[in-house]
Structure 1
Amino acid sequence: MRRIIPVRLFSGKHSILTYRTVYSAAQESNIHQENEALISKMPPFDYTPPPYTGPSAAEILKKRQQYLNPAIFHFYKNPLNLVDGKMQYLFDDKGRRYLDAFGGIATVSVGHCHPDVVEAIVNQTRRLQHSTILYLNQAIADFGEALACKLPGDLKVVFFTNSGTEANELAILMAKMYTSCSDIISIRNGYHGNAAGTMAATAQSSYKFNVAQSGVHHALNPDQYRGVFGSDGLKYAKDVEEIITFGTSGQVAGFVAEAIQGVGGIKELAPGYLSAVYDSVKRAGGLCIADEVQSGFGRTGSHFWGFEGHGVVPDIVTMAKGIGNGIPLGAVVTTPEIAKVLTSRNYFNTFGGNPVCTAGGLAVLKVIEKEKLQQNALSIGTYLKGLLSDLKEKYEIIGDVRGRGLMLGVELVTDRQSKTPAKIETALIMDQMKDLGVIIGKGGFFGNVFRITPPLCFTKEDADFLVDVMDYTMSKM
């Protein structure tokens, strides 16, 4: 027979009482057989990684604990030692295959080790690994041109960086310099990085250290699931107008926002919000910054950039993650007029525009176009969202299914009326899905949202398998 026993989980000073299901030997055997049958349904894939001969997961974990920053954490009770990857699949040190539905935090855009990207990186590495922007190099110029051509209006000047945090830092700096103002407005629950300016703009206490953070005003989050105004974007937008009126001199440097909050739990901004806010900010002399670190490069399916889904054109666009398919690469794109503000002093970045990274970035753009991955994100993402919505009708624990394309979120709650976050259940389901061969992420302030951001080469069969595993895991809760 099945028994439910209480288990107390400890975290620092706090403890939480949860429950674990205990099965009889016969039931355990049946579950094992069901697990094996389900794992065998993973879509076939014609690739076998070479044998792994490196250290064990336990040895690597020990070195991490001894030599790496203690702030570094890992997913799962038994962390994965991933040693190989090909397209939408990852392989551990034992050669077991996993469906990657997280994409290294929305970073792997065209697929792990895509041959075209690998070839571009290797060829450039053989010729020249580093030169800095003090010298001419074709890779930097070609990628800058190709990137500028993907953006609307007068967004034609590119500054290369090493990460999304650095891109957002630069964008905020440029907004302040261009406007001669210091006030920045961002949205609660948003995430923009962990350096000085970006930590201030980030509006989640989990990512903010107790250091001086000034000059940023956090507006109401236009959250269609938990927000006070539901999906009425114009009502949320009034808060930005009031911040400008009552919290500033009436002039601001800029407004920064993600079209879909990634770390915040895959939350789309309420309809009508972004265009209304852009109008208010422009009237106050500010610049509008679109943070496309996670939602860019075709991930939303309907558009190449997330902001395009709101019918707006920003003054500055920041990007990273999917830009390089895993290469340390970011960029800021703005207008020629705004770009001139950096010429008043020396602006320099040793690695920004590295030839290896930009060669890889250009290859990523070409693959997205050649393989029609934006269209694939739209079709497969729509199909997958439909399957997840069907699953919501089956399980009360699913409170919301949201997102666009292959940037989807599934929020788990213990009660749909009160929307109480099911944080512990989320971690348990995520761990068990890993055991069945599916890797997904989690996010949201309460850690109760599944983040589904796979490589854009995801297939219908992959979507079916992901939902089958989630369905089976939830049925055993």
Structure 2
Amino acid sequence: MKRSLTCGSYRLFKWQQAGGLTGVSCRKLSSDGIPQMPPCDFKPQEYQSLPYERVLDIRKNLLSPALVTYYKKPILLHQGHMQWVFDSDGRRYLDLFAGIVTVSVGHCHPKVTEAAQKQLGRLWHTTNIYLHPPIHEYAEKLTSLLPGNLKVLYLTNSGSEANDLALMMARIHTGNFDIIGLRTGYHGASPYTLGVTSLSAYKGAFPNGFGCHATMCPDVFRGIWGGSHCKDSPVQTIRKCSCSPGFCEAKDKYINQLKETLSTSTPKKVAAFIAEPIQGVGGAVQYPKGYLKEAYELIRERGGLCIADEVQTGFGRTGSHFWGFQTHDVMPDIVTMAKGIGNGFPMGAVVTTPEIAKSFAESQHFNTFGGNPIASTVGSAVLDVIEEDGLQNNCEVVGTYFLKQLEKLRDRFEIVGDVRGKGLMIGIEMVKDKKTLQPLPAEEMNLIWEDCRDMGVLLGKGGLYSQTFRVKPPMCITKEDVDFGVAVFQTALAKHVERSST
């Protein structure tokens, strides 16, 4: 006999009341067993645009069929406020994916909004063949936040453009051609960057990636080697190892794989190595401590440059440092950034050294919209808000709290294989069981994902098998928001356990 939803909700409620949420910070439950949202004093405007069905019709017939939507019934978002978004029915959601790790300081942050509005009334656009104050003010402000000799700024419109530009710079400066990336790395979908984006879902059946090579990703959870002390994270993997203190066997073995790639797949000289400090689309994958440092040394021995892709990890998101590469104690030659740089405004950037910039100036480079007055103004306001609102510190404090709460769920649920990350760059890898580490099937992932959405929490997905929930919220979230998000996720896990047991 098929049980009713009401009956299932009642049983779940009784499970929670009997101690199901013990050991995990949680919020009060409503009568149907759903965690209650934290209060929010923001009132969204009434939705008055296209009817929902008309929006779906336009999406189907007039927009690219390559565009995907989340959830069985796609959400029609209408308005945003800090860590919250509202749909066309006025329903509120805690946004734990931040527009794919893009909303850094909060949806429609009042200071950023005010700065953009003022600039809109002053000067929308002029290309950089003319001087205008915002780009020069922003260049000075942004480059002051980068260490060493990283002082020359190029402004673009996206992360793909930024990485595309960085790869071209490396080839021109070194006079070499071959570029090394990591498997499951994501750096964009332009023809150049597709070569170093090592996820087949983004690759079309056409020639791309000439001279690009992918070496083994040093994933200490799912990879061949790893242990319980490898990562720079408040939460370590459950995987055990026999490494002695201060010695990481996994790091050395993954470095040997990079050496093998260099010995078998490339000429003696290479142009560049590109890596995210923590992989984003790949599923918040973290490398063993010391891996990037030794990788950089190997690349430089072969005449190559080292590129840090900070599109998702930059601007304080990792908490302990402003830039993700700083957590690895390395100094890149080129840094690329986008997404959180503009809090959702389309912009990206490349920062490099004067020496590399000089080589690149041998040919003319121009970007019509890169560094336009509005983008520069927005970028500058974002930097001000990060400092004034203490958001880097918030990432460290709230992010560590978030990871520790999720760790408790990992220890209680067989299907939660790994919790990893740093600051508010978090991944939850789901498995069939902790012994085999087989990825949780897509249909089961989707059921948990849909349940979270139904209870008011939006999560992303990533990983080679889409087996990892991506948790990368606006950097303004609070511990109270975390308690709600964790309680919702646990409730969804418990519902999954109940479904699987019947």
Query: Would the TM-score normalized by the shorter structure come out above 0.5?
Result: yes
2:478 to 440, 459, 463: 459
Measure, in 1, the Cα distance between the counterparts of 2:138 and 2:62.
Answer: 37
Partner of residue 86, structure 1? 81
Q: Is the 8 A contact 1:240 1:277 kept in 2?
A: yes
Residues 33-432 of structure 1 aligned to structure 2 (within 5 Å): 41-213=36-208, 214-230=210-226, 231=230, 232-422=250-440, 423-432=442-451
Shift, 1:56, TM fit: 2.5
Distance 1:412 1:331 in 2: 34
- Check the 8 A contact 1:287/1:315 in 2, yes or no: yes
SS at 1:268's partner residue? coil
Change beyond 3 A, Cα 1:131–1:25: closer
Scaled by the length of structure 1, the TM-score of the pair is 0.93
State whether structure 2 residue 461 is matched by structure 1 residue 442: yes
Aligned-residue offset at 1:418: 1.3
Residue type of the alignment partner of 1:199? L
The residue identity in structure 1 corresponding to 2:10 is: N
Match of 1:13 in 2: none
Provide Cα deviations, 1:28-78, integer angstroms capped at 9, x if missing partner: 563798666555621111110111111222211110111001000100001
Q: 1 or 2, which has the higher strand percentage? A: 1
1:38–1:436 CA contact under 8 A, matched in 2 = no
Picking from 15, 22, 27, the partner of 2:7 is: 27
The answer (yes or no) to whether the contact 1:409–1:450 under 8 Å persists in 2 is yes
- 384 and 26 in structure 1: CA distance in 2 versus 1, 3 angstrom threshold: closer
Describe the SS at the equivalent of 2:192: helix
Q: Secondary structure at the match of 1:421?
A: coil
Question: Deviating runs (4+, > 4 A) in structure 1?
Answer: 31-40
Is the contact made by 1:298 and 1:305 (CA closer than 8 Å) also made in structure 2?
yes
Taking the aligned partners of 1:256 and 1:36, their CA distance within structure 2 comes to: 51
Residues 291-322 of structure 1: CA deviation (Å, up to 9, x unaligned): 00000000011111111000000000000000
TM-score by length of 2: 0.89
Q: Which has the higher contact order (CA 8 A, sep 6+)?
A: 2
Number of residue pairs aligned between Structure 1 and Structure 2: 457
Residue aligned with 1:414, SS = coil
Whole-angstrom distance in 1 between the partners of 2:265 and 2:77: 48
What runs of 5+ residues in structure 2 fail to find an aligned partner? 14-28, 231-249, 497-502
In 2, Cα distance between the equivalents of 1:77 and 1:354?
38
Cα deviation, 1:12-37, whole Å, max 9, x if unaligned, reads: xxxxxxxxxx5236505637986665
CA RMSD of aligned residues (A): 1.5
1:301 and 1:29 map into 2 onto residues whose CA distance is 38
Work out the CA distance in 2 between the residues paired with 1:244 and 1:452.
34
Identity rate, percent: 49
What letter corresponds to residue 453 of structure 2 in structure 1? K
Partner Cα separation in structure 2 for residue 395 and residue 46 of structure 1: 35
Q: What is the CA–CA distance in structure 2 between the aligned matches of 1:29 and 1:427, rounded to whole Å?
A: 19
Q: Distance in 1 between matches of 2:295 and 2:282?
A: 20
- What code does the residue aligned with 1:353 have? G
Q: Kindly provide the amino acid, as one letter, of the partner of residue 268 in structure 1.
A: Q
User: Quick one: distance in 1 between partners of 2:272 and 2:49?
Assistant: 49
Runs of 5+ unmatched residues, structure 1: 4-21
Separation in 2 of the partners of 1:385 and 1:40? 19
Which whole-Å deviations, capped at 9, do the CAs of 1:431-454 have from their partners, x for residues lacking one?
111110111111111111100000
1:176-205, Cα deviation, whole Å (9 max, x unpaired): 000001000000010000011100111111
Segment of structure 1 superposing worse, 419-428 or 28-37: 28-37
